Amino acid sequence: MKDQSLPNIDAEHFSAPSSESVFADRPSTHRPRILLLYGSLRARSFSRLAVEEAARLLQAMGAETRIFDPRGLPLPDAEEATHPKVQELRDLAQWSEGMVWCSPERHGAMTGIMKVQIDWIPLSVGAVRPTQGKTLALMQVSGGSQSFNAVNQMRVLGRWMRMVTIPNQSSVPKAFLEFDDNDRMKPSALYDRVVDVMEELVKFTLLVRDRSAYLTDRYSERKESAEELSSRVNQKAI
């Protein structure tokens, strides 16, 4: 490779990543802030029970948790974004440094309730992407044999929303057998996997939260003015 020049690069906005830049900021000392979403409105929702179990684990690991109740959340575009439940969800998304999404698998996919919540979280507010750089852990519950359709779908959405989706994930088959009469998850290898996922989420959140601005700083966007960026990312809803 004789020619190592980069004639297409704007030198003013080009920057080579470095360890010094990644670890420049002092780590925060407050507890990691984790928002948990579940995808069912049933009175005994196993996705909600799984989220509650995850929240207990996260709290034991030093995190601060909040669980959003999707009951009363309107369909996207059926109401204005000023709707109280929409504002509650968006405020929690903004507050959070990481999230847990847990959906039942229905007809081989995540539920509509789960997708409605995700759709109400905006991709952009002005030139800022509210979910960008936040961590994400994925879980699903199934009524039958183990499947990964819902977590795979949600992983695509997490990437689309520019979240740092952790490698580990949890899928709980025959969820009705995994919770006792007190709505607590029984000890099993499936429970141990939930512990693993929450542990990994806290680790990634601690690693990423003070560096998300640097990790998501991009050459192409540095070339654009703030006005151009805002115009590009704030397209009218389709």
pLDDT classification of 52: cutoffs 50, 70, 90: very high
pLDDT of residue 1: 66
User: What is the SS3 assignment for 134?
Assistant: coil
Q: Distance of CA 133 to CAs 6, 213, 216, Å?
A: 29, 7, 6
Percent with pLDDT over 70 in the chain: 92
**Long-range CB contacts (within 8 A, 24+) of 118-121:** 118/37, 118/154, 118/157, 118/161, 119/76, 120/73, 120/76, 120/81, 120/86, 120/89, 120/90, 121/89, 121/90, 121/93, 121/161
pLDDT tops 90 at residue 41: yes
Quote the CA–CA distance of 72 and 222 in Å, as a whole number.
40
Quote the CA–CA distance of 110 and 106 in Å, as a whole number.
6
More confident residue, 225 or 54: 54
pLDDT tops 70 at residue 237: no
pLDDT, the chain, mean: 90
Beta strands in the chain (DSSP E): 33-38, 64-67, 98-104, 135-141, 164-172
Per residue in 152-195, pLDDT (tens digit) is: 999 999 999 999 999 999 999 999 999 999 999 999 999 999 99
pLDDT tops 60 at residue 220: yes
pLDDT classification of 10: cutoffs 50, 70, 90: confident
**Cβ contacts of residue 80 below 8 Å, gap of 6+?**
86
Write down the pTM of the prediction. 0.86
